Structure 1
Amino acid sequence: MILGFDMTSETGHKLVESLDLGVDPRAIKKEVRRLVTPKSVSEYRAKISSKANLPEGVILDPAAGSGGQLLAYSKYLDRPCAAVELSPQRADFCAYQFSKASNNSSVITICGDGTDAQGVMSIVESKTGQTSICMLHVDPARPMDTQKHAVSEMQPSLSVLLESWSEYIHVGPDGPAMTLDLSPRLARQQMLEIEDIVLAVFPRTSMTWEWLSRGGGRVDRLCLQTGPLADIGSASRSVRLWNDGSFSTLHDDGDILDASDMGWSDYKLCLGDLVALIDPVIPKSGLRGVFEECAGYARGELVWIGKSERRPLALLHEEIHSGSEVRPFVVTQGVVVGRMASKLDLMSIDSLASLAMENNIATIQVRCSLEPRLHKRITDRLRQILGQIHGSPGFLIEDGGSEDLVLCKELEV
């Protein structure tokens, strides 16, 4: 692939254009692989954004990385798009990505500093004829190999970026249309810091935090939606995104959100208890109370057991049925049929298998903490032992009120 620059602004920003698509771009892909947003997530965000009442103008990503998110916007929204990337190699890859797409004519790639709005806009205006930004998508770089980071460590700096673009982005009655794609590990205090940064530049802006899960037992994405992209009157939204691109949502209606680290019980599970593993986006988003009400319970009626980042557990009075609004956020539910007062390892597999056979359980989903390599060995061994059994599916969880393991028989769908 030959990449050429045919336009340079006075500030050094360069328009990147692909002149030849015949070269395998694998070397470039290796550089940006960790930056790629899953396609299903990118397309979900684009579909949601396409329903918003956006003004005329350009959709801008000032730190575009691989360009995948902007490519999805160009597919679903009838707006020109501009990708800005400081790294020449990443900018080259963006240009390659866009040129391979059938609708690439609506996207331009600029190599340069995304916080220099004036320099970027000099090229945007000359190429698109547009003088304003209708939507800003920001996925700031974060420190590598760290579980936690300060807001000040994000690059580009959110405060510098928003201040720079405030002159060009359209600001409606609810504020500007922005998606800030952030780390799902952000603490509540850091989220408040980010809200303060937004409000310092764009006062009275509507904001909704969105927690997204793809069903892997974790929160996959966290973003702040503002202006026409926000759910007006709603501070928090949980999303379960399915493999086929469909999704389910749950949000508050101005309710007081639950603190994710409060209201957890040390209840010890008993035989016959009905329990459900809940998608972690529900407690993380502060929507446990909303979940309870939508499931037919009074707020505070459900018992939430043993606070867990990945496997929140709720004690139910009755099954949550498939037609329920909250059913998409129930990972699995079942009845407690047995306990094991030992940790799960290669030595305890036979005891677990015997307990399963006593309760006519033919398969076991291990849904407790286990080292990945050991997890595979144990599940493979259980599959061998129980392979000839005809019975119900089951799952193994940790008891929030003790160190025991609990075997549950899954409810029939």
Structure 2
Amino acid sequence: MHLNLNPSETSAEGLVERAQDSTAPEGLVFFHANEGQPLATPWQVAALRAGMVARYDLPPGWVLDCACGSGIQLAAYGTALQRPLLGVELDEGRARASAVNVRSVVEHTRSSDTTWYRSSRIVAGDGTDAEGVLKALNGPQQGVAFLHLDPARPRNSRTHALEEMQPALHRVLEAWAPHFTGSATGPAVLLDLSPRLTLEQRKEVESIVDQTWPGIARTWEWTSRGRGRVDRLALWLGGVADDNAGRRFVRVPPSLAEAPVVLRSNQPPADLEVRHHPPKRNEHVSILDAALLESGLMADWLARVAPGDSGRWATLEGRRPQLHHDRPMQLDVGDDLLVQATGRVVELLAFPLDETTVDRLVEVALQHRLSSVKLRFDLDPALQPKLQGSLDRQLKRRHGDRAGFVARHPHGEVLLLCVCSNPSDETPLI
């Protein structure tokens, strides 16, 4: 049984989960149902993705989301694409929340009189039953211009099988394939998948896609909001595949007012290896974005910001990939979002850092005119804030004019005190 909901007429009565999205414009509040808030796409990510889809020339028809949840991504598509929306959600409470949220976004953008909004519908029902969904609309039939699918997956699990994602990919693709509007570039599909998928699972996804559309163009996209974590992993297909990239990395900026950092490549990922080397003064150390490394686009980015300097990877594991190199990086606008810290080694500290030695670090930092020093290596979680707080308090009272950080050399019990690069401070490597 499918229930047809008109966003302009759906009541918010009974929807008790209501929250302000910290990434959304002030006043834009979203409803959720049945603990749907933790699963909802942040508005900033939804708006950014919708803007990227809007760059493609889509045929006429529905913007379809077969598992629309709270409808935030669907609403973002509506405002960006100006196309009629068709959302399908198995849970009736979430379907109602989706309809209300679409209306909220439309009212916020003053688009209530648009044709696309008046034609939009949310259906509570099975997203794999294309015929049942279309029959429930009771109106003029049209094809699908674009399909978005963000299947549910197990929560609080580091790994899971494709079979645990619902609705199942193959069932959705098979059900809706006959209903796409014809296009020279093929069906436009975006599969928003778990960021925890392994390489073998990604190949399995491609195999499922090829069963419906053999050889369709495809682009894998890794999206990160920072903290070295991949937040979204998506496969863009057919009409929305990137002609110039088989892989793409998107770093979401801190605010909607800033442009994202987007990296693309059609080349296979480069093999990166750790190289053992002794600690050395005046070399440069950069702690880079672990999410960028996971996307396989690190080497492509380094070729631009560190041309001719292949560097030496000290560690490729964990949250702090650490690269040692001979010259400062040539960072452009936005590149700082991909760098946790970068600077020149000015001291090799041969003592462990604890509450009894932090004053020694302060003394060395003052010799190099440092006004702040951040600890960029793994420490006991109970000890780290104490040490960082002590450094901040002591250095704040002095008259330093440079920033620095401490990294750990992974192949020896040595800490590296680094100063942010300044061309006037550069000295030859020793």
If the TM-score is normalised by the length of the shorter chain, which range does it land in?
A: 0.7 to 0.9
Of 120, 127, 134 in structure 2, the residue corresponding to residue 107 of structure 1 is 120
| 1:267/1:400 contact within 8 Å kept | no
The aligned residue for residue 278 of structure 1 is: 288
Query: 1:228 and 1:372, CA in 2 relative to 1: closer, same or farther beyond 3 A?
Result: farther
Deviation at 1:105, TM superposition (A): 3.4
Say whether 1:26 aligns with 2:17: yes
| 1:302/1:315 contact within 8 Å kept | yes
| SS of the residue 2:157 aligns to | coil
Query: 1:206 and 1:19, CA in 2 relative to 1: closer, same or farther beyond 3 A?
Result: closer
Query: 1:249 and 1:381, CA in 2 relative to 1: closer, same or farther beyond 3 A?
Result: same
With structure 1 as the length reference, what TM-score do the two structures score? 0.87
| SS of the residue 1:185 aligns to | coil
The aligned residue for residue 63 of structure 2 is: 59
| SS of the residue 2:313 aligns to | strand
With structure 2 as the length reference, what TM-score do the two structures score? 0.84
Sequence identity, in percent? 32
Letter in 2 for 1:164: A
Letter in 2 for 1:134: A
Query: 1:181 and 1:267, CA in 2 relative to 1: closer, same or farther beyond 3 A?
Result: farther
Of 196, 204, 224 in structure 1, the residue corresponding to residue 207 of structure 2 is 196
Deviation at 1:351, TM superposition (A): 3.8
Looking at structure 2, the residues matched to 185 and 341 of structure 1 have their Cα atoms a distance apart, in angstroms, of: 38
The aligned residue for residue 315 of structure 2 is: 306
Letter in 2 for 1:115: T
The aligned residue for residue 95 of structure 1 is: 99
Letter in 1 for 2:186: G
Looking at structure 2, the residues matched to 141 and 371 of structure 1 have their Cα atoms a distance apart, in angstroms, of: 35
Looking at structure 2, the residues matched to 196 and 145 of structure 1 have their Cα atoms a distance apart, in angstroms, of: 27
| SS of the residue 1:308 aligns to | coil
Of 4, 20, 27 in structure 2, the residue corresponding to residue 15 of structure 1 is 4
Q: In the TM superposition, what whole-angstrom CA distance separates every residue of 1:218-242 from its partner, at most 9, and x where no partner exists?
A: 2222211111222114211112221
| 1:208/1:231 contact within 8 Å kept | yes
Q: In the TM superposition, what whole-angstrom CA distance separates every residue of 1:294-326 from its partner, at most 9, and x where no partner exists?
A: 23535x823222112422222223222343795
Letter in 2 for 1:321: Q
The aligned residue for residue 9 of structure 1 is: none
Query: 1:233 and 1:26, CA in 2 relative to 1: closer, same or farther beyond 3 A?
Result: closer
| 1:264/1:305 contact within 8 Å kept | yes
Looking at structure 1, the residues matched to 152 and 191 of structure 2 have their Cα atoms a distance apart, in angstroms, of: 12
Looking at structure 2, the residues matched to 412 and 23 of structure 1 have their Cα atoms a distance apart, in angstroms, of: 59
Letter in 1 for 2:417: L
Looking at structure 2, the residues matched to 351 and 20 of structure 1 have their Cα atoms a distance apart, in angstroms, of: 64
Query: 1:324 and 1:380, CA in 2 relative to 1: closer, same or farther beyond 3 A?
Result: closer
C-alpha RMSD of the superposition = 2.6
| 1:276/1:332 contact within 8 Å kept | yes
Q: How does 1:289-368 map to 2 (within 5 A)?
A: 289-295=299-305, 297-298=307-308, 301-323=310-332, 329-341=338-350, 345-368=354-377
Looking at structure 1, the residues matched to 169 and 356 of structure 2 have their Cα atoms a distance apart, in angstroms, of: 52
| 2:219/2:237 contact within 8 Å kept | yes
Structure 2 gaps, min length 5:
19-30, 112-116, 424-430
Deviation at 1:64, TM superposition (A): 1.1
| SS of the residue 1:96 aligns to | helix
Say whether 1:251 aligns with 2:264: yes
Aligned residues: 396
Structure 1 gaps, min length 5:
1-11
Query: 1:87 and 1:358, CA in 2 relative to 1: closer, same or farther beyond 3 A?
Result: same
Looking at structure 1, the residues matched to 213 and 154 of structure 2 have their Cα atoms a distance apart, in angstroms, of: 27
Looking at structure 2, the residues matched to 130 and 280 of structure 1 have their Cα atoms a distance apart, in angstroms, of: 46
Deviation at 1:68, TM superposition (A): 0.8
| 1:307/1:400 contact within 8 Å kept | no
The aligned residue for residue 240 of structure 2 is: 229
